[in-house]
Structure 1
Amino acid sequence: MTPEHAPASHPPVPARKIGVLVANLGTPDATDYWSMRRYLGEFLSDKRVIDYPAWKWQPLLQTVILTKRPFTSGANYRLIWNDEANESPLMTITKQQVAALRERASALWGDRVVVDFCMRYGNPSTPDAVERMVKAGCDRILFFPLYPQYAGATTATANDQFFRALMTQKWQPAARTVPAYFDRADYIDALAGSVERALGGKLPRKLVASYHGMPKRYLREGDPYHCQCQKTSRLLRERLGWPEGVIDTSFQSVFGTEEWLRPYTVEHVADLARQGITEIAVISPAFSADCIETLEEIQGEIRHAFEDAGGKTFTYIPCLNAEPTHIDVLTAIIGENLAGWV
């Protein structure tokens, strides 16, 4: 539309809107070697993820890791790939979440609020999503990294990429970022509901809350992730009304030779089986959507470690994904962070 009082020759300006940009980690475009190499190269070159000096890390990454790892990672992705849609499950679930959030936003705020999504690594990229929103008339953007617990390697790097995308805009929109929501009562309620549904209300011998790991050094350097994971587990146990000792917190996806947060999930579940605990359930409260770490690592490597050590019954409790209770939580968070804008 042409702005009021502007001459007829004035270039059209889209109607003002508010953008909600949901962000997740990312996914390769395909499972072939080069698609995997591009994705892993971007991910493992992020200084928030691997903070070693470039002169020390990049030669190893480019000549050794990215020569071999795309083959093994591609094979793992093929085990869980959504062949019908030709995309990873993370992409499929994120699309479902965004479709549900668009419906909620439309019902609450009409066409004033535009909901879209991006990935920190791979496609759709954060810069492309920001560009689309600006062209659609969004002069304010709420950026929402879908990580309940804050970590420099997840929330912060997503925010970094968002800010870099804003730097390219001639007319830069106002911006807000959504903080971690690991201790919200409605989020804990949603987690508890998923546990109760999966276990039929029974008290398990052990529920292992498996979070993505990080180098232990990051905790000493001030990253709050470990503490927020521990609090999530405690609040979940309290909400379920279970005694202490039923829920164990552990960490998965260890990479490299540096010591990471312990206990490591793959070792911990095997230890439980050797102790005679042959029935366990596993939940992943750090993931907002099922992905390679849950569908392949937990249900593959970690399950096998438990069973090989004598475990009998292994129950995986899916992520909240696009469940209505999860969409309720995300909608409430968005509404609160849009205060004063809508």
Structure 2
Amino acid sequence: MAAPESPSTARDLDRPGEGRLTHAPADHPAVPRGKVGVVLANLGTPDATDYWSMRRYLSEFLSDKRVVDYADWKWQPLLQLVILSRRPFTSGKAYRGIWNTEQDESPLLTITREQTRKVAKGLAERHGDRVLVDFCMRYGNPSTDSVLRRMQAEGCERILFFPLYPQYASPTTATANDQAFRTLMTLKWQPALRTVPAYFEHPAYQDALASSVREAYEAAKTPPEVLVASYHGVPKRYLLEGDPYHCQCQKTTRLLRERLGWEEEAIQTAFQSKFGPEEWVGPATVEHVAELARQGRKHIAVVSPAFSSDCVETLEEIEEEIRESFLAAGGETFTYIPCLNDRDDHIAALLSVIENELGGWV
């Protein structure tokens, strides 16, 4: 009669970490198995602010068909020969104005790393070493491909891919997911992959967003008369073609207003970062804040509910260009309310979303 299998061997397939496959030969090498991965995905960042670093980053970003969907024969000559001969200089200047010189990286990278550290800590407290957490960028480094491959090599047979965009949009959420699936297309052994949907309606996210607004208003020396919720813009054509982003932004503003218990006119929605000749959803934030000043609204605040982390669009565009537009038109006090970044209530919201999406895996 054969001896019973030892308890340690029998558990090899059930626990994370390296172990011998239950029915493998004695000389089979140990393999990592059984872990679950969580990847936080953000937009991206250049590696530096010099011309060539900015050109590489902008070329990758603006060559993405989810971002600019014109035919290559029409778009690429214009991009490579005209736009990328000038824009790396202006974008590099913008990034230098906000660059984290201490760590020699963009604020987006610094903040995303800290968000990841806190999320990893929260999941470790709940699940031990069963769940591995990392982050990637759609454009730039660390790349989506390198992070997913590393997670698989570390034994992640299931991966939850979390684009850090509260509202779904084709140029943000969809392209992040596209990149993850491109990596899966090259793997002989694909891990199971789940993607996290838009989470702007999640009560914990709305609570964190409302708390950030209340705190800013309480700290303001002069109470703002209007709160402008400024979202990254998209061409109007995207809305007409079925992208839900514009509608989800409008709903985010409404839910925030209801959370705060404010009157409808106290919060207004606008869109920033227009690029190219097409008509974009509006109103444009830079023009809208100037109009508010001309109407006699001298004290306003701006919040960016579409960004999970402060970046060049918030720290440079809002804090400088949009602020300047408001003040030049006669405004007096301009309050920028930072993104939720690594606030504890924001991390708690992200953890709540992750726990729900990990259902059945842990």
Normalised by the shorter chain, which TM-score bucket? over 0.9
The offset of 1:7, in angstroms, is 1.0
Aligned to 2:14: none
TM-score computed with the length of structure 2 as normaliser = 0.93
What residue number does 2:137 align with? 119
Q: For 2:174 and 2:30, how far apart are their aligned partners in 1?
A: 36
Instruction: List aligned pairs for 1:35-54, cutoff 5 A.
Output: 35-54=53-72
Distance in 1 of aligned mates of 2:187 and 2:353: 27
| 1:9 shift after superposition | 3.3
2:113 & 2:34 partners in 1: Cα distance?
25
Matches for 1:311-326 after TM superposition, within 5 Å = 311-326=331-346
CA distance in 1, matches of 2:180, 2:51: 28
Q: 1:192 and 2:214 equivalent?
A: no
CA distance in 2, matches of 1:172, 1:319: 35
Distance 2:226 2:171 in 1: 29
Q: SS at the partner of 1:101? A: helix
Partner secondary structure for residue 31 of structure 2: coil
3-state SS, counterpart of residue 222 of structure 1: coil
Q: Give 1:204 deviation, angstroms.
A: 3.3
Q: 1:15·1:137 contact (CA, 8 Å) conserved in 2?
A: yes
Equivalent-residue separation in structure 1 for 2:136 and 2:146 (angstroms): 8
Question: Aligned match of 1:241 in 255, 261, 274?
Answer: 261
**In 1: Cα distance, 2:185 partner to 2:147 partner:** 14
Residues 275-284 or 168-177, more deviating: 168-177
Structure 1, unaligned runs of 5 or more: none
Cα distance in 2 for residues equivalent to 1:184 and 1:255: 30
Alignment-derived partner of residue 178 in structure 2: 160
Give unmatched runs, 5+ long, in structure 2.
1-18
Q: Which residue of 2 aligns with 1:109?
A: 127
4+ residue runs over 2 A deviation: 8-12, 201-204
- The structure with the largest alpha-carbon Rg is 2
Q: Aligned pair 1:92/2:110, yes or no?
A: yes
Shift of 1:341: 0.4
Q: 2:11 — aligned with what?
A: none
CA drift of 1:169 comes to 1.4
Please, which of 302, 306, 309 is the counterpart of residue 329 of structure 2? Answer: 309
Cα distance between partner residues in 1 of 2:23 and 2:284: 65
Q: Report the counterpart of residue 315 of structure 2 in structure 1.
A: 295
Q: How many residues align?
A: 342
The aligned residue for residue 204 of structure 1 is 224
Deviation track 1:38-74 (CA, whole Å, cap 9, x = no partner) reads 0000000000000001100000000000110000000
How far, CA to CA, are the matches of 1:8 and 1:191 in structure 2? 55
Q: Pairwise CA RMSD of aligned residues? A: 1.0
Structure 2 CA distance for aligned equivalents of residues 329 and 310 of structure 1: 38
What residue in structure 2 maps to residue 64 of structure 1?
82
Name the aligned partner's letter for residue 27 of structure 2.
S
1:137 matched residue in structure 2? 155
Q: Distance in 2 between matches of 1:217 and 1:169?
A: 35
Separation (CA, whole Å) in 1 of partners of 2:207 and 2:219: 14
- Decide whether the 8 Å contact of 1:204 with 1:246 is kept in 2: no
Amino acid at match of 1:19: G
Cross-structure match for 2:295 = 275
CA distance in 1, matches of 2:161, 2:181: 10
Letter in 2 for 1:133: M
